[in-house]
Amino acid sequence: MHCRECVLDRQMPPELTLKIGQAIKKRSSSFIPGECTPEIRVCASLALGQAIEQGGKSEEWAAGDVLALSVWLAADFIPPLADPKLEALRIDFLTVGRRRVSQTAIVSRARKPVPDAALVGAGAITQEELAKVLTPLDALRFNAALDREELDLLWWLYAARSEIVDKPLASLPDATRAIVTGVELGRMMRRLPSQSHRNIALRDVAPGIELTLVELVAALGDHCQAIATTIEGETLVQGAPDVFPLLSAIKTGTISGPGSRQSRALGDWALRAILERSAINVQYKANRKI
């Protein structure tokens, strides 16, 4: 999920530039990598977009989904680019990534049909008979995990209390409530969040508040440490700050990159919190575990 290479307003690492240039040269012998760095960047970006759209399918998430979410998070954190062509490419990444994530969030939550349990007679059981017996169990476990996600969400909504800071959500300062809400929702996700989950993250966000990442972390105050202790995947978060700028800043206290100086609505930060945190959860949690 390391997506530093796809950040459009930075120079690509030399080893990646060389690798892509060599791949292009195999198709075009007249291509000179050392003289065509902008072209290499564009080709790499187009290839990434194609990889997102053709990145396979999985019950939980596939390679294309990982790329889609990573590119969405990274491209969204980049301020608008001065170069119109690169800005159009950034917007295209946002659109393609958001579309795939939204589709996967819905499709991956479709329940499996549960076939009737196969009857097995007395005596030795063959491997084929055993497979027929176990098939309904797999579907039941799959469906139960998704049911558990919904139940956890409903109980959390009903309680209206933060598990991270052990206080009623309504009692928290605006910035803390927005981020804690997004993080706690992300922790419950067994699949990528759908638009419905993102709407829940926005339901109690105070309007009219805009903060930079530096200002947001400062506003979290003492709650920042409490949130940090709930973030798994430390290596992933710290290794991909362009994808996880919010969680990385909360976890490490290190804030960098041009996007950190851009003021964003508190609702945008709440959405980023649920997206970043759900990505960690889907990556590291056993999705079928009830």
pLDDT tens across 133-185, in order?
A: 667 778 888 899 899 999 999 999 999 999 999 999 999 999 999 999 999 99
pLDDT tens across 94-115, in order?
A: 998 999 999 999 999 999 888 6
High-pLDDT (> 70) share of the chain, % = 82
**What is the model's pLDDT at position 216?**
96
pLDDT surpassing 60 at residue 199:
yes
The residues near 106 (Cβ < 8 Å, ≥ 6 apart) are 194
At 54, is the secondary structure helix, strand, or coil?
Answer: coil
Question: What is the mean pLDDT of the segment spanning 128-135?
Answer: 67
The residues near 225 (Cβ < 8 Å, ≥ 6 apart) are none
Phi, psi torsion values for 168, nearest 5 degrees = -60, 140
**What is the model's pLDDT at position 234?**
76
**What is the model's pLDDT at position 120?**
52
**What is the model's pLDDT at position 7?**
42
pLDDT tens across 279-289, in order?
A: 998 887 644 45
pLDDT tens across 3-30, in order?
A: 433 444 456 667 777 777 777 777 776 6
CA distance 191 to 248: 21
CA distance 44 to 41: 5
Its pTM surpasses 0.85: no
Inter-axis angle of helices 84-107 and 195-202, nearest 10: 100
pLDDT band at 273 (very low <50, low <70, confident <90, very high): very high
- Among the residue ranges 42-51, 251-260, 269-278, the one predicted with the least confidence is 42-51
Mean pLDDT over each residue of the chain, to the nearest integer: 83
pLDDT surpassing 60 at residue 233:
yes
